[in-house]
Amino acid sequence: MSVSPWHERFNTLVDQGLDREMRVITSPVGPSVETPDGPKLLFCSNDYLGLAADPRIGDAVARSAKKWGPGTAASRLISGNTSSHAELEKRLARFMGTQAAVLFPTGFQANVGALPALVGEGDVIFSDELNHASLIDGSRLSDAPVRIYRHADARHLEQLLEEEPSSTGIRLVVTDAIFSMDGDLTPIEDICSVADRHDARIYLDEAHSLGVIGPGGRGLAAQKGLADRTAIRIGTMGKAFGVAGAFAACDSDAAGILVSRARSLLYTTGPPVPIVEALIESLEIVEGADDLRARLADNISFFKDLAHEAGVSLIPSDTPIQPVPIGPSDRAMAVSASLWDMGFFVQGIRPPTVRAGTSRLRVTLCASHTRRQIEDLVGALADALETETKNK
């Protein structure tokens, strides 16, 4: 057999320690999972409210699969759109308080489809330097120039807006609400003020805030009373909602453009109805889940307090994403591997997901974790970090 044309390129990744492998779990997602290496306490999923294996949502999938079967067999723009898709979009728009909501199969597809549909030549994107890969790729796919402002720095954003010659086009500020690898928040009040002063619009990705913060889990903009000041809010439903999918909440003109132009919506098979009906169930649960949000907030502060007492330093964050800074990628992966051996599943995050030299463990807390599980994690983290420091 001939040598693969990718042999050398892959070997280079291996030599740099940047090749990746997918770990396997053999049980439903929950605070503890089974794996081929035995049970592990799971501290790296985005199942913030503990709904990924919720039986109410599972039952909705089963009922729907019996009625509809698994496939939609076409793009929604051809024949793959059902009354359930329309019902979900109607409920999402009502939930977000917008004229419309447009459903996408995933959050990645929402961003790589929506941004190039909404802005192009003659427009300008202003993007936070730590935005999620899907926002970066969506911005690149648009024909609009992209100006990158320093992370969470509204003053730098303002400077870039001032430097940009005013034009008749759209000036779109694009930002995560909660940053996916750092867990901090965009300074949304300042971003809104700057945007107002410079006639810019805001595209806010609420992937990690939806379900988690704000009234009824409506996210960061709603929490701050600024929902009306954003033009587009993206919600993803594979995280706190525990299912899969995403939506853009926006006015009806923007929705009309998305349905007519977003290539990741037009040219992909409609989401399966059992997933859509699971999302209708999940939306109802999430909206009424103040008890789970309170438990999650309690788990976050419990973890932070314990980590502080144990001398485990954290990147400052008050959200479920609690990164432990390590630095070199091989060290981050070594600490992750020793935690795995101790019975904890905590992923190491390294380039290109984060900048070189800033590799970390991305610890995530869920409402479903018990205090005992969190205590055990912090003990193991302290041990693993100490061992790694000795081996340096």
- Cite the active site residues: 180, 208, 239
Does the protein bind ligand PLP through residue 176 (CB under 6 A)? Answer: yes
Query: Which uninterrupted H or E stretch holds 191?
Result: helix 188-197
Q: How far is the CB of 89 from ligand PLP (least distance, A)?
A: 16
Q: Which residue is nearest to ligand PLP (CB)?
A: 107
Q: Is the Cβ of residue 64 or residue 236 nearer to ligand PLP in the bound state?
A: 236
Q: What's the CA gap between 31 and 307, in Å, rounded?
A: 19
3-state DSSP assignment of residue 144: coil
SS3 content of the chain, % helix, strand, coil (to 5): 45, 15, 40
Distance CA 30, CA 240 (A): 13
Site string for ligand PLP, 243-282 (x = CB under 6 A): ---x------------------------------------
Sign of CA dihedral 337, 342, 347, 350: negative
Considering only CA atoms, which of 16, 13, 11, 33 is closest in space to residue 24? 33
Contact 282, 64 (CB under 8 A): no
How far, in Å, CA of 113 to CA of 78, rounded?
Answer: 17
> Hey, which residues does 363 pair with through a beta bridge?
322
Tell me the window of 55-63, 101-109, 161-169, 182-190 that interacts with ligand PLP (CB under 6 A).
101-109
Contact between 236 and ligand PLP (CB under 6 A)?
A: yes
- Strand ranges of the sheet holding 321-327, from the earlier edge strand across to the other edge: 321-327, 359-364, 348-349
Q: Single out the residue of 45, 106, 299, 317 in contact with ligand PLP (rule: CB under 6 A).
A: 106
Using the rule CB under 6 A, which residue among 30, 107, 211, 320 binds ligand PLP?
107
Task: Specify the stretch interacting with ligand PLP by CB under 6 A; choose among 104-112, 117-125, 279-287, 312-320.
Answer: 104-112
With binding defined as CB under 6 A, does residue 108 bind ligand PLP?
yes
Between CA 137 and CA 373 the distance in angstroms is 37
Taking CB under 6 A as the rule, does residue 293 contact ligand PLP?
A: no
Query: What's the CA angle centered on 24, arms 20 and 30, to 5 degrees?
Result: 120
Q: Which is nearer to ligand PLP, 200 or 275 (CB)?
A: 275
User: Per CB under 6 A, which region of 106-114, 186-194, 317-325, 373-381 contacts ligand PLP?
Assistant: 106-114
- # residues near ligand PLP by CB under 6 A: 14
Q: Which is nearer to ligand PLP, 31 or 238 (CB)?
A: 238
Tell me if 134 contacts ligand PLP by CB under 6 A.
yes
CB of 205 to ligand PLP, least distance (A): 4
Q: Minimum distance from CB of 1 to ligand PLP (Å)?
A: 35
With contacts defined by CB under 6 A, name the span among 68-76, 138-146, 203-211, 379-387 that binds ligand PLP: 203-211
Q: Quick one: which segment of 102-110, 191-199, 261-269, 332-340 binds ligand PLP (CB under 6 A)?
A: 102-110
What gap in Å lies between CA 252 and CA 338, rounded to an integer?
A: 51
Between 133 and 342, name the residue whose CB sits nearer to ligand PLP. Answer: 133
Q: Is 213 in the site for ligand PLP (CB under 6 A)?
A: no
Our finding on whether 132 is near ligand PLP (CB under 6 A) is yes
Residue among 55, 66, 29 nearest 44 (CA) = 29
What span, in angstroms and rounded, lies between the C-alpha atoms of 279 and 16?
Answer: 41
If DSSP codes are grouped into helix, strand and coil, which group holds residue 344? strand
Residue ranges in contact with ligand PLP by CB under 6 A: 106-108, 111, 132, 134, 176, 180, 205, 207-208, 236, 238, 246
